[in-house]
A and B are shown apart, each in its own frame.
Chain A
């Protein structure tokens, strides 16, 4: 379960979040919709613990405990995963080398045995199919020269490998064409589980048509202004964000 309690945060001294309160019960998928520059991405970075984002009030609680004092890697090892809107490129580091190290770091913290290279590759090949990802990408430098769609698929693939308990997806649909969007949505849907909580941040309602979240929240100017069911997403899309302000 994810709980945001009157969360305030700023970046470089500029307040962005102005009291966000939100509860996503375990196993549910909630959508956060909002216009550009409303602070949606900030919300995801704060949950994951980006050092540039300073929490000035309120709390982020995961399964009943505050995570604010934890380093990003500690949050990751507790099962918090952020699918980035703009995944970074790391030249010279292959996706497989990076992901094997990450997976084993997470497994160690869970008290699970590390995977050797062969077991890792078997698992990776299987999970790549979830997002119809080209296996060659495993052996290329992480995200370097990847198309926009490949980068987004790679995020969902990593999510499938790391098996997090809380997934924050920051615009997993941005820049995707309709076919790629369907593939990404299918991958995310396949990873839904009663043990996994998801917060999906998006601009458009189309992704939500595929995902069918349990609840939708409209996010404007650093706070949630309205919450509701699937109809809310459709209404926002047709009437625009001005309507809910």
Chain B
């Protein structure tokens, strides 16, 4: 048994590939806890960032700068009365939020936080991820139907139409990226160095970007960029966020599909929605933004050796700097904590908050110190850069929410079918044409000679 558990330590692949169920379970728990953590932080960050964009303060009372607000919210939601409308279709009403959460978290099985940091890797990982993430709409339709009420019904109908429409544009953009994994040349226009069969494995796609020394968002510039933008728009629509938040359009449909939900059930919907946001962001990151790779991953700089601290002769000074970034970020957060603790009002009533902020700073700094330790430092890289990219995407979600009005239903459909779909087809065609251009040139030459 112990051997079975320890045998994975020497492995450089995911526990699923190593066929180690124990570590797979551990990884599942870590991913579940981590994503829930991200959702909680996102909850706080969204309220704060949105508030500051809207000349408000946001939560300020529960903990320093409202840091404990998500916990207070969760407690409130757990203790609320569980209301189920008398006319509701009870089993489906009960099942819908559970379905949304389960589906949103299932996709994370194949999300590669690092080359070995995923639950498992499948040869159809991307397909699995897309398939699972599009199942979420089923929960929304169930919720709308089971509520037996007009507003939720309209919300869920809108949602299903929206998801189906945007799934197609999304799929075309994704195929373009998958196609790129098959063109073996390096650099932005690396063509003519042969082709291979592409891969649908999430880890394989990142490794292809690693091998080609280019993030696919820059490959065949601007083709990859356009595909990425299509995906970035479609993924906002997929997760029902502003400006595509029609299924829960507050000013029109009261609360859309979750009008009749409250308390814990409602919070499950929110958890599912935010987890889905993280999931689609990770697809975008894996496909176009180099997954776990740091920026400029192929630049190493002159190699350097520091005894007891840096014993990677094959890595350069740029790598050293990049390896220190995670700790640096945490030190920066700690600094913010200390700085703001000093800026807090000197009133005795504020003392618990000031102490809390100091404590948080100490914790942050402590984690930063741990991250400096070479064994941790060398293993945390992938995860750090992946999560940092997720954070950027989540911030974009908040930014959209503060900026855009909401589309109308027919306009939403028009954007999906008349803009994104043709552009996606064009991008797909261009990807293939550029990638195969040497062969095409040879083929045309051949035809000319033959004539």
Chain B binds chain A: no
Chain B residues with a Cβ under 8 A of chain A: none
